[in-house]
């Protein structure tokens, strides 16, 4: 057994005082999501910026050139590795991450390493109103500046270190100039609905290679512009015994005084075959609890992938479950919302259908909508059909939302539709490749008006940047 003498310990204490004086535990805190610029607390006027893809601190003023002001502007988004921490997305779409402890700007590759390296957890800073950011995967290291360079360094109980690692979140040097994305960060498959006087948005958490995320979040808004983040509402890993990956495309419906979250997840134990489940909550903001302890639609029970559930409740109170990739099925749900009669399942796959079914009713017409092509393709798009019944037969009506390269918009799809509770005003929520640097696994959520011609046809949506 190795023994350490008291003399050696005393010597070590002199050589490395931090061993005997552990860094004070800073209290976790929260910061506002959205655009911000980070100012040093001990070098007033110096801001975190990137230059040549490295993080550093430099003076920025309102007369600085537009490039510098842009380089010193970030969007604070829910952490790529944990929604209770934060990531910093530059205006060019890349993220601050550490590698070899140096903070730099890189494109999210969706790997667990990148997401952890790009996630920082907020703690109260050294000065009132300031914030310190601890590395998510090296929690004893904090984001700090040193010779104007940004690093994550081991925390020290020195006034200098605490000042070097504390920042004020200031108004951004470059304000957001577009209406979309409506929420900051990488999210997809938005299910937009209305409950209890507010709009609620339930997306897939994106930014994971192979869409392998496990957690669902909820957002709410009174006006579809200003959003409140409610954090995780269901995490498959701990929350669902039969699925622990691929938390895709949720849909939430109110019924029986409760809220039902339909979701898909990859079967547990490394099997990625998808199944559909249902979770329940007393609040639209969650948390949701698995209602069955088993899938509602098991992998392999029907042809096509068991993903992309959607529930529509008709005026007579009957709720219908739609689902599937490659093939579309519908079945009336039983009154408990957690079971159905398998004998009543009907295949209603329209021509052009790939996935992401959505149903709504307006003026007695049933609108069945879906996404065509692959979500990784810039040609991902939304089409629809109509019927006089929620189970068809349906008449195809064509594509109403597709890419607009002139606006830099690629792959718009996997949408949902909601009507204003007070008027015949309709909205469509959908995802697109994140602008400017996204792709089929780095997507963001947009909302636009959905309008109808006098004969009830849906007008083509011109996507708003």
Given the rule CB under 6 A, which residues bind ligand FUB? 188-189, 204, 211, 248-249, 307-308, 355-356, 375, 414
Catalytic residue, chosen from 153, 189, 235, 308, is: 189
172 or 350: whose CB is closer to ligand FUB? 350
The region, left, alpha or beta by phi > 0 then psi within -120 to 50, assigned to residue 328 is beta
40 or 416: whose CB is closer to ligand FUB? 416
Catalytic residue, chosen from 235, 244, 290, 355, is: 355
356 or 429: whose CB is closer to ligand FUB? 356
189 among known catalytic residues: yes
Residues counted in the chain? 465
CA distances from 384 to 116, 351, 403, 427 (A): 40, 10, 16, 15
Distance in Å, CB of 212 to ligand FUB, minimum: 10
Distance in Å, CB of 232 to ligand FUB, minimum: 17
Distance in Å, CB of 424 to ligand FUB, minimum: 28
Distance in Å, CB of 82 to ligand FUB, minimum: 19
377 or 396: whose CB is closer to ligand FUB? 377
Distance, in Å, from the CA atom of 402 to the CA atom of 215, rounded to the nearest integer, reads: 28
95 or 211: whose CB is closer to ligand FUB? 211
127 or 209: whose CB is closer to ligand FUB? 209
Contact (CB, 8 A) for 258 and 199:
no
Distance in Å, CB of 443 to ligand FUB, minimum: 8
Distance in Å, CB of 355 to ligand FUB, minimum: 4
287 or 324: whose CB is closer to ligand FUB? 324
Distance in Å, CB of 308 to ligand FUB, minimum: 5
355 among known catalytic residues: yes
Catalytic residues: 189, 355
């Amino acid at each position: 057994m190795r023994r350490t003498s008291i003399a050696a310990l005393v010597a070590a204490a002199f050589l490395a005082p931090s061993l005997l004086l552990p860094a004070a535990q800073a209290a976790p805190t929260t910061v506002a999501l959205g655009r911000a610029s980070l100012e040093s607390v001990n070098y007033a006027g110096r801001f975190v910026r990137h230059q040549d893809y490295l993080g550093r601190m430099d003076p920025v003023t309102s007369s600085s050139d537009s490039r510098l002001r842009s380089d010193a502007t970030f969007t604070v988004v829910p952490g790529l590795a944990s929604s209770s921490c934060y990531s910093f997305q530059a205006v060019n779409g890349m993220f601050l991450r550490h590698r070899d402890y140096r903070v730099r700007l890189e494109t999210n590759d969706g790997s667990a390493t990148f997401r952890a390296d790009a996630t920082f957890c907020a703690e109260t800073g050294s000065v009132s109103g300031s914030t310190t950011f601890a590395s998510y995967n090296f929690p004893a290291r904090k984001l700090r500046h040193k010779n104007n360079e940004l690093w994550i360094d081991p925390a020290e109980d020195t006034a200098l270190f605490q000042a070097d690692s504390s920042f004020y979140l200031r108004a951004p040097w470059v304000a957001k100039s577009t209406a979309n994305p409506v929420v900051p960060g990488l999210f997809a498959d938005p299910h937009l609905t209305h409950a209890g006087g507010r709009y609620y948005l339930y997306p897939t958490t994106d930014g994971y290679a192979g869409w392998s995320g496990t957690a669902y979040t909820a957002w709410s808004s009174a006006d579809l512009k200003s959003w409140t983040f409610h954090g995780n509402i269901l995490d498959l890993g701990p929350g669902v015994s039969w699925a622990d990956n691929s938390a895709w495309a949720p849909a939430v419906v109110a019924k029986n005084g409760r809220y039902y979250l339909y979701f898909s997840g990859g079967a547990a134990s490394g099997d990625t075959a998808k199944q559909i489940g249902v979770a329940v909550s007393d609040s639209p903001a969650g948390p949701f609890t698995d209602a069955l302890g088993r899938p509602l639609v098991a992998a392999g029970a029907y042809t096509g992938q068991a993903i992309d559930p959607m529930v529509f409740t008709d005026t007579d109170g009957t709720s219908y479950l739609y689902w599937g990739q490659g093939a579309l099925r519908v079945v009336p749900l039983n009154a408990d919302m957690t079971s159905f009669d398998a004998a009543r399942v009907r295949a209603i796959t329209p021509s052009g259908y790939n996935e992401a079914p959505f149903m709504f009713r307006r003026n007695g017409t049933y609108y069945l909508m879906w996404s065509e092509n692959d979500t990784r393709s810039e040609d991902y798009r939304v089409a629809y059909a109509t019927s006089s019944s929620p189970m068809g037969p349906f008449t195809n009506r064509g594509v109403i939302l597709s890419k607009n390269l002139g606006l830099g918009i690629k792959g718009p799809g996997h949408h949902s539709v909601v009507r204003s509770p007070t008027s015949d005003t309709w909205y469509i929520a959908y995802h697109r490749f994140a602008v400017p640097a996204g792709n089929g696994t780095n997507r963001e959520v947009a909302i636009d008006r959905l309008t109808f011609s006098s004969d009830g046809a849906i007008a083509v949506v011109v996507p708003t940047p």
